[in-house]
Structure 1
Amino acid sequence: MAHITVSVEYGMHSLLWLVGESDRPRSGRDLAAFQGIPPSYLLKVLAKLEKAGIVRAFEGARGGFRLGRPPEEITLLDVVDAIEGRKPLFDCQEVRGRCALFQPERPAWADHGVCSIHAAMLQAEKAMRSSLAAQTLAQISASVATKAPDTFSASVSDWFENRKAQPAQRAGEGT
């Protein structure tokens, strides 16, 4: 989790548009077009989410993606780890061991325990992971629903349905 990239943001937005769509898969191309990003880029993100069981892929003319679990069971941490991998927030280089005063031999106290800077970073990472684990896709979806007008959800559904009805629109979008 060294850095949370834009891939997580695109992945989360895609997941939001899958909430409540358990009977109708949404195509990766349409999810990409809805966000204004290249389909090839989003399909790589969706592949990582599929590998983690967060989405399920369905092939064929009516194929696409659906949530792999209920949104109440998908945490932000699940999404971050699926897309970014479980990397540490801080990669300690043990700089303390290269201190000029410790040459040619380091004193024992210098290497005792975890580096104080590393310890602080581990604490921050634990807090961040805990916060991400406490928030679910269902909560984020509910938050969006409280902000958006009542007609927004229907507009989103209509947009995706119109895309299915007009395959000529999709022909020039690439893979």
Structure 2
Amino acid sequence: MAHITAGVEYGLHCLLWLTSSPGAPLSSRDLADFQGISPSFVAKVFPKLEKAGIVTASEGIKGGYLLAKQPQDITVLEVVDAIEGRKPLFDCQEIRSRCAVYRERPPSWATKGVCAIHAVMLRAEKAMRDSLASQTLADIAGDLERKAPPAFSDDVRKWLVDRARTRTRGPAAEDGALP
């Protein structure tokens, strides 16, 4: 059975922090470092998000990613499909056509229409996709905002701004030299 991988979780977490972006692009490395997750894994996720039109990219030392749309216009389902591709929840093997009772070929009544088990899985997949389509990045950001103390948002923005500033100044800034 197909399932949603860690790539979706990483992608959603990174997109969540892009909603707090100070207006400057954020690198996939900065987003990974901020969360303590694999930079190489995050770097593989972002091209998929860019191809799907969820983020835009800019190159260079000041480069990185920004949301291509408003957070309320990005559904969780879009993110899942961008990262995972649209794959079915269940892959029916048509076992019903292999019953030992049928010596040569199963009768048409046995294989007519969608398999009853597959039908259950199709309904479950539809319910899951409908639920993911009804939730946006803004919904997740709102949940976090309600849960976290007000100072947390300020701390996040400060970390992101400081990291972007350090990245744009280059190595001399890290040594204490003037830009």
Report if TM-score (shorter chain) is over 0.5.
yes
**What is the aligned partner in structure 2 of residue 105 from structure 1?**
105
Query: 1:40 is matched with which residue?
Result: 40
Contact 2:49/2:55 (<8 A) preserved: yes
- Name the TM-score, length of structure 1 as normaliser: 0.91
Aligned to 2:147: 147
| Cα shift at 1:60 | 1.6
1:13 corresponds to which residue?
13
Q: CA deviation at 1:34?
A: 1.1
2:157 corresponds in structure 1 to 157
**Counterpart in the other structure of 2:60:** 60
Q: What is the rounded CA distance, in whole Å, between the counterparts of 2:88 and 2:22 in structure 1? A: 34
Does structure 1 conserve the Cα–Cα contact (< 8 Å) formed by 2:26 and 2:164?
A: no
Could you state the TM-score of these two structures normalised by the residue count of structure 2?
0.90
Q: 1:77 to 1:22 in 2, by over 3 A?
A: farther
1:117 aligns with 2:117: yes
Per-residue CA deviation, residues 9-55 of structure 1 (Å, 9 max, x unaligned), is: 00000000011437211111100111212211101101110110001
CA distance in 2, matches of 1:109, 1:164: 65
Structure 2 distance, partners of 1:126, 1:144, is 27
Give 2:87's aligned residue: 87
How far apart, CA to CA, are the structure 2 residues paired with 1:7 and 1:68? 19
CA distance in 2, matches of 1:21, 1:36: 18
Note the alpha carbon deviations across 1:43-82, whole angstroms, 9 max, x for none: 1101110110001111122111000111111000000000
Change (3 A) 1:34 1:55: same
Where does structure 2 lack aligned partners over 5 or more consecutive residues? 175-179
Identity %: 59
Whole-Å separation in 2 of the counterparts to 1:22 and 1:100: 65
The answer for the alignment partner of 2:177 in structure 1 is: none
CA deviations on 1:101-152 (whole Å, 9 max, x unpaired) are 1121211110111000000000000000000000010111011000000001
Give the CA deviation at 1:162: 2.4
Supply the distance in 1 between the matched residues of 2:107 and 2:165 (Cα, whole angstroms): 73
Q: Against the structure 1 CA distance between its residues 64 and 165, is the aligned structure 2 distance closer, same or farther, given a 3 Å change threshold?
A: same
- What is the CA–CA distance in structure 1 between the aligned matches of 2:80 and 2:36, rounded to whole Å? 21
Query: In the alignment, is the contact (CA less than 8 A) between 1:22 and 1:66 conserved in 2?
Result: no
Distance 1:50 1:128 in 2: 24
